[in-house]
Every structure is written in structure tokens, then in C-alpha cells.
Amino acid sequence: MRKITIIGAASLSFSRKLLMDILTMKVSGQWEIVLMGPRYKPLAMCKTFMDRIIRKNSLPFAVEITTNRRQALKDANYVITLFGIGGIDALKEDYKIPLQYSVDQCVGDSLGPGGIFRAQRSIPVFTGIIEDMKALCPEALLLNYVNPMAMLTMTAARLGWNRYLGLCGGIETTGNFIAHVLSVPKEELSMLFMGINHMAWVMEIKKGGEDLYPAFKNRLSEPGYLAGEKIRFDVMQHFGYFSTESSGHLSDFLSWYRKNDECRKLYCNSPGFHGASGAYFRYSSFLSKNIDEEDFYQFHDGTLEPRSSDYGASVIEAVETGKTLTVYGNVPNTEGYISNLSQTAAVEIPVVVENGSIKPRECGTLPLQLAALNQTNIIVQELSVEAALTGDPELLVCALSLDPLTSSVLTPQECRMLARDMLEKQAAYLPQFKEKQLKETVAIKQQYGIRPFKLPEESQLSYLKEFKKNLRKNKSKFSSNP
């Protein structure tokens, strides 16, 4: 019997689509689906929902639930991670505490203070999962949906786990948006994306041999489209290419659009993920209060719905059947798939599933300006991963101080204060920092006394003045006359 284990399957609102997709797979033999999470009640609701579909459609799946992670992972062929550590309380702190320091985030799940601390909560758990997999299911394919996607992908590489693919719906969503703007069926378009998660770039848009990028840029400048995509449009104007995800996501990764009230009023005044303050926290709060604790699908009649555009079930099906499939996935850049990004980076690129193997595609170089934008995020991601794995709180200060949005608002000393507050509030989820303290620093004051030494430039100036004085005293020695 083949086995799929889903870690963090307790949220119907986030996992329902994936669970339904798995039940559509055309695979041979009997399959066991194990749902694992920290709370029994929502797991039981998921199981009831899936069992109803399985019975009505006579599907070859059996669903089990457990709160024991090692039991769930034992002998798994596929492991899917969906967990969120700290729940809505941690998300609230990710948004509210930085806001007290005037760092305003729209999403805050991939970079910024929210993304950095989400990584600190998630990476220790992710590390534990991989260590358990090494012992209990060493040949399993790990499909990760957890954010911050890039940082967890880097972590998998650091831990030496090669059977890995990070999956995100952002590229599919962007492709749908482009097709809508152009009024062309998506299946008639050829598009190429490459970059990093939540900041990949649309490299080409074609129909047949015709380049539709100019038409897309022109249509997007119309007020009806521009109202919701001011930031992505503005970046495209100045850097030449359109970005994946949403304007709200992109605003979190750059230093220009959320740094003060004036900028936010101009660029971030559209609702929700188009740029609104705290959009992700407010969305998650709504789900937490209205859906996740209720049996939202208790009246579902068991109909097996068509597969969504999500990649997860299709990847498993392709591996099992040996068919060839191309998807967009997140993988370590260790082989230089994007040659002008760091080899320690995690990149989002086309990935071919072929003969049961995951084969990332070499994509060449990004335009220099796009690589530069990606690298501003990558260095923060690397520092955050290092902080999570080593438990060094000083690296958190460095990550915050180099984060594009945070550094546009705060000094390094203020970043230190923010880090201290976040570490204190989220200590229950951050075991790697237990009994570790940020060092005390010397506060920079407005007024100081005279410096006890001269700077090199001042010493050089004094020397030149003295030389000029001596020159005047000894004119005759430098006379041109013999």
C-alpha cells in the first residue's frame, strides 16, 4: 500500500483543495492518506469530509488521522507539509509588533519582520520533520507548501534532503491574471517565469510566435487594471518586467512603497492583497473565527470535484505513473539553475517530473536589475535561516537591518529593539533562542565632546598647512635660480 502523509492537515480552509485533488489521482493499488496535526477535532472533520467522497465514488483511498508525527511519517512515500506554527496569535504579533515601530506590512509571510520570525518558528519544526523522515521514510518525496517558502527550501538543502519540491500557487495565479488582462485563453499563451518565490519574473508572454508583452503592459496601464496593481505596474515601468504574486506581496519585499504614510496613501490604498495594511492577518483572522473551528463542509454531498490548478496531486501522479509533467517549483540553486543568483539561494523555476524524478530546468541569467532585486531578498533569507539553525539572535538583528522594508524605516538600533520585543513575545515558539540574549549596545547620543584623536584626513590637512608655512619661510631654497 502506498502512503501519503500530510503534516498540518487540520485546516479545512487551507487544505480542502489539496485533499480533493489527491482523491482525483489516477493511480494503481490501494493508498493510505494520513492526516497529522496537533488537534484531533479538525482532523476528524477532514477525515469525515474525505470518507464521504471516497465512499460515494468507490476510490482506492483510506484516510487515517493522528497527532503523532513519527507515526504519521513511518513508511510514507510522500510527505506534504502545510503547518503554521503559532496560529493566529503569532500572525497577530508578526503584524502588530512591527507596526508599533512603523513597519507596515501587507502580508508579512515571506520577508519583513513577519517573514523572518515566521521562519524562526517554522524551521525548527521543519528540521524535526526532515530528521524524522531520514529515519522513518528516507526515500519519500517532500512537497512543501509552508511559508516562508524560500527559507524552508534553503533549510532542506542545508540538511541534505534532496527529494524535495516547494510548491506555490503564485505563478498560476499570475498566469491567470495575464490571460485575463489580454483577453486570451490561458492555454493559448506561452509564458516563462523565473526568480525567487513571491518575486519571480514574467520573462516572456507569447501567443504562437507573437510577443504579447507590449500589449500586456499597455492594457495594464488602463485605470481599471492599474487601480489594483499600482506597485507591480510601477516596478514593471522602471525595471522592465512584471512580478508574480500581488502588489501587496511585492510591497513587502521592496524599500519604496510602504516606508511612510505618503507612500502608502499613494501606492497601497487598494483593498486586501493589493496593498492594504495587515491584509494577510485580517484574512487569516476571518478564517480562524468563521471557518476553521466549524465543520464548514458537513453538508458536502460527496461529489468528486475536478482537479484544481494546484500542482501537488499532479506531481505525485506523474511520479507514480512515469508520465512527463512540467510545473513551477522551488528548489535550491546549488547547480546554478539561475546562474547570476547565489548558489545558496532558493529559486522558483520550471521543473520537469520525468521517469519518477524531479529535474529542475537550467534557466540561464536574469536581467541584471532583476537579479539585483532578488538578491536583496536572498541575503535576508540566508541570514534568517542561519539564525534559525544556530539560535544566534544577533543574526536576527542583521536580517532585520538588511531587510528592504524594515531598513527603509528603522535604524539598526531600532531593529535590535524590534527583535528583542519579538523574541520575548514569541519565546514559546522559539526553542533555539532559549536562554540566549541580544547583546547590549552603546546608545548613540546627539552631543559628544571633542574627539581624543584626529582623523586621517585632518592629520593630512594639518601636514599640508605646515608644509605651506615652511615653504613660505624658505622661499630662497626653492628658487629657480642656480
Residue 287 belongs to a domain? no
Residue 388 belongs to a domain? yes
Residue type, 362: E
Separation of alpha carbons 181 and 197, rounded Å: 23
C-alpha cell recorded at residue 459: 592629520
For position 61, what pLDDT does the model report? 97
Average of pLDDT values for 120-124?
Answer: 98
pTM confidence score: 0.92
Average of pLDDT values for 352-361?
Answer: 94
C-alpha angle with apex 316: 310 to 317, nearest 5 degrees? 95
For position 219, what pLDDT does the model report? 96
Average of pLDDT values for 136-161?
Answer: 97
Q: Where are the alpha helices (DSSP H) in 270-367?
A: 279-290, 312-321
* pLDDT band (50, 70, 90) for residue 317: very high
**H or E element, residue 191:** strand 190-196
Residue 195 belongs to a domain? yes
Q: 418-465 pLDDT, tens per residue?
A: 999 999 999 999 999 999 999 999 988 777 666 666 656 666 667 677
C-alpha cell recorded at residue 163: 527529494
Residue 327 belongs to a domain? yes
Q: How many domains does the chain have?
A: 1
Q: How many separate helices (H) and strands (E) can be counted in the chain? A: 19, 12
Q: 66-93 pLDDT, tens per residue?
A: 999 999 999 999 999 999 999 999 999 9
Separation of alpha carbons 314 and 322, rounded Å: 12
Residue 240 belongs to a domain? yes
Share of the chain above pLDDT 90, in %: 81
Q: Is the Cβ–Cβ distance between 396 and 119 less than 8 Å?
A: no
Q: 298-310 pLDDT, tens per residue?
A: 778 889 999 999 9
Domain of residue 412, residue span: 87-110+168-277+310-429
Looking at every residue in the chain, the average pLDDT score rounds to: 92
Average of pLDDT values for 367-377?
Answer: 98
Strand ranges inside 227-355, DSSP E:
325-332, 346-354
How many CA atoms are closer than 13 Å to the CA of 172, on its beta-carbon side?
12
Residue 392 belongs to a domain? yes
Q: 36-67 pLDDT, tens per residue?
A: 999 888 899 889 989 999 999 999 999 999 99
Q: What is the CATH number of the domain that holds 338?
A: 3.90.1820.10
Give yes or no for residue 12 having a pLDDT over 60: no
Give SS3 for 109: coil
Average of pLDDT values for 370-380?
Answer: 98
Separation of alpha carbons 143 and 225, rounded Å: 34
Residue 354 belongs to a domain? yes
For position 15, what pLDDT does the model report? 79
Share of the chain above pLDDT 70, in %: 92
Q: 238-264 pLDDT, tens per residue?
A: 999 999 989 999 999 999 999 999 999
For position 476, what pLDDT does the model report? 59
Residue 292 belongs to a domain? no
